[in-house]
């Protein structure tokens, strides 16, 4: 069996390890635009601020490919999939045949049209190791950095370069920071911390025009800059499957075992949709854990085994300057907020007798118990929810439930 994987991040690693659980002999070829050993993308900001190294960023050990019998083609670009002849075409003209194909092409930065942006010489995105390296090379201790986007990517960039530049300004059209994962109160907690570090925010605003070394905002304000980072969002890389005739909506349509609408072609990770059990909708969940689990299930299925990824949950575990937070699930339901004297913030959202989502800022210990309740769709009536609200612990479960969890369930 010839397995070909396009991509080399979490979904690709999951696919390799899934295949090898079933098939130890088939050939596996990994093709990636990037020239690096597989690495953890969320760590690029820590590389900039000196908290990690390229070696420590590696998502798997140096011998990962060799141990798994993988032929690695780095710095190579796939320009077409030809399902009728079961080959992928590389940009240099080489064709590679497959029996089973995984598309784990991830996503790319979205750069909206902004007048004058093309005239900005020092403009960057912040998604890949290469992005981090090129940005780092452009920074000086006096650099005035303008970040367009107050979401996860933009703010992790701000944290990564803090202390290495003269000033950081962040512009976002939303009225608060991290609007996709935090409520208003949670956003204000994090914003106050970042502002205390000297980061300046221009919210409910946007860049109207870029001029040499200054940006004119819709509000009429001006921001001087030397370096611009565009971090307004991402778009899934769906083109290969779409051009091959596969079904694509916002992301590549895939079953719970990764099958696309094209025969023997699978998809996993940020480029495809997952069924979000907290909302009951198919959506893109651009999250490393989901990408890995989706890839692993698909790899098992590609090799003839049976596996399904049915517990996709939006979840983010992040931190800024030592303030930790974990968010998960949907916030559609009845919300209860708990705050303590130490400033820890907790919001739990329930609906139809189930925990649907949560926000934890500060104390994130045992957040896995809340995540487990969401993933397993555990009826709250079956546990001591009052105890878990205040202090998540296994004692809130029945003896049988505790035995199941301690028997190996990831919580």
- CA dihedral 79→83→88→92, nearest 10 degrees, is -50
Q: Which of 188-197, 204-213, 312-321, 379-388 has the lowest mean pLDDT?
A: 379-388
pLDDT of residue 52: 95
Cα–Cα distance between 397 and 358 in angstroms, integer?
19
Q: Is the pLDDT of residue 394 over 80?
A: no
Strands (E), 255-386: 265-267, 273-276, 281-284, 315-320, 323-329, 334-339, 345-351, 354-361
For helices 184-196 and 152-161, angle between their N-to-C axes, nearest 10 degrees: 20
Structure tokens at 167: 């000033």
Cα–Cα distance between 47 and 317 in angstroms, integer?
18
Q: At 339, is the pLDDT very low, low, confident or very high (cuts 50, 70, 90)?
A: confident
Average pLDDT score over residue span 291-302: 97
Q: Is the pLDDT of residue 76 over 70?
A: yes
Contact 335, 323 (CB under 8 A): no
Structure tokens at 307: 């596996």
Structure tokens at 235: 């778009």
The residue to which tokens 């605003």 are assigned:
205
Top-confidence residue, 212 or 191: 191
Query: Can you give the length of the chain in residues?
Result: 411
Between CA 370 and CA 380, with CA 375 as vertex, the angle to 5 degrees is 60
Average pLDDT score over residue span 199-205: 98
Q: What are the DSSP calls for 272-283, one per residue? A: BEEEETTTTEEE
Collapse the DSSP code of 107 into the 3-class scheme (helix H, G, I; strand E, B; otherwise coil) and give the result: strand
Average pLDDT score over residue span 109-133: 96
Structure tokens at 267: 């998809």
Cα–Cα distance between 119 and 242 in angstroms, integer?
33
Structure tokens at 245: 């005739």
Average pLDDT score over residue span 186-202: 97
In the chain, the domains with their CATH numbers are: 2-108+235-302 (3.50.50.60), 117-232 (3.50.50.60), 322-406 (3.30.390.30)
pLDDT of residue 411: 31
pLDDT of residue 401: 57
Average pLDDT score over residue span 300-315: 94
Contact 225, 213 (CB under 8 A): yes
Cα–Cα distance between 27 and 295 in angstroms, integer?
17
* Mean model confidence pLDDT for the chain: 93
Top-confidence residue, 410 or 341: 341
- CA dihedral 225→229→230→235, nearest 10 degrees, is 180
- Closest C-alpha among 233, 267, 277, 227 to residue 247: 267
> How do strand 27-32 and strand 70-74 relate by DSSP bridges?
parallel
Average pLDDT score over residue span 374-402: 77
Q: At 26, is the pLDDT very low, low, confident or very high (cuts 50, 70, 90)?
A: very high
pLDDT of residue 397: 57
Q: Is the pLDDT of residue 341 over 80?
A: no
pLDDT of residue 400: 63
Average pLDDT score over residue span 375-381: 91
Q: Is the pLDDT of residue 94 over 50?
A: yes
Q: Is the pLDDT of residue 398 over 60?
A: no
């Amino acid at each position: 069996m010839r397995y070909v994987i396009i991509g080399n991040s979490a979904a690709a690693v999951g696919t390799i390890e899934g295949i090898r659980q079933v098939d130890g002999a088939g050939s596996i070829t990994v093709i990636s635009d990037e020239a690096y050993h597989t690495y953890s993308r969320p760590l690029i900001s820590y590389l900039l601020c000196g908290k990690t190294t390229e070696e420590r960023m590696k998502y798997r050990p140096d011998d990962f490919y060799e141990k798994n019998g993988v032929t690695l083609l780095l710095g190579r670009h796939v320009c077409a999939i030809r399902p009728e002849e079961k080959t992928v075409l590389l940009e240099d003209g080489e064709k590679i045949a497959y029996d089973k194909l995984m598309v784990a092409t991830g996503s790319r930065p979205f750069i909206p049209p902004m007048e004058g942006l093309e005239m900005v010489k020092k403009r960057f995105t912040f998604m890949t190791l290469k992005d981090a390296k090129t940005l780092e090379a452009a920074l000086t201790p006096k650099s005035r950095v303008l970040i367009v986007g107050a979401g996860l990517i933009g703010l992790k960039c701000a944290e990564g370069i803090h202390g290495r530049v003269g000033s950081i300004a962040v512009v976002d059209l939303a009225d608060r920071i991290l609007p996709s994962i935090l409520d208003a109160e949670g956003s204000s907690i994090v914003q106050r911390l970042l502002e205390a570090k000297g980061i300046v925010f221009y919210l409910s605003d946007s860049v109207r025009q870029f001029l040499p070394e200054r940006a004119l905002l819709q509000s009429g304000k001006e921001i001087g800059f030397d370096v611009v980072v565009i971090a307004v969002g991402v778009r899934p890389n769906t083109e290969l499957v779409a051009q091959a005739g596969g079904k694509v909506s916002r992301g590549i349509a895939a079953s719970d075992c990764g099958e696309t609408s094209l025969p023997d072609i699978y998809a996993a990770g940020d480029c495809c949709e997952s069924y979000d059990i907290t909302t009951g909708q198919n959506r893109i969940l651009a999250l490393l854990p989901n990408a890995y689990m989706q890839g692993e299930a698909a790899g098992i299925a590609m090799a003839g085994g049976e596996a399904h990824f049915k517990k996709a949950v939006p979840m983010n575990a992040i931190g800024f300057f030592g303030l930790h937070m974990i968010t998960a699930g949907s916030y559609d339901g009845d919300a209860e907020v708990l705050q303590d004297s130490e400033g820890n913030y907790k919001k739990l959202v329930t609906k139809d007798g189930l925990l649907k989502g949560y926000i934890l800022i500060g104390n994130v210990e045992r957040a896995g118990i809340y995540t487990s309740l969401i993933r397993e769709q555990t009826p709250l009536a079956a546990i001591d929810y009052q105890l878990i609200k205040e202090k998540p612990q296994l004692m809130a479960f029945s003896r049988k439930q505790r035995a199941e969890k301690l028997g190996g369930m990831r919580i």
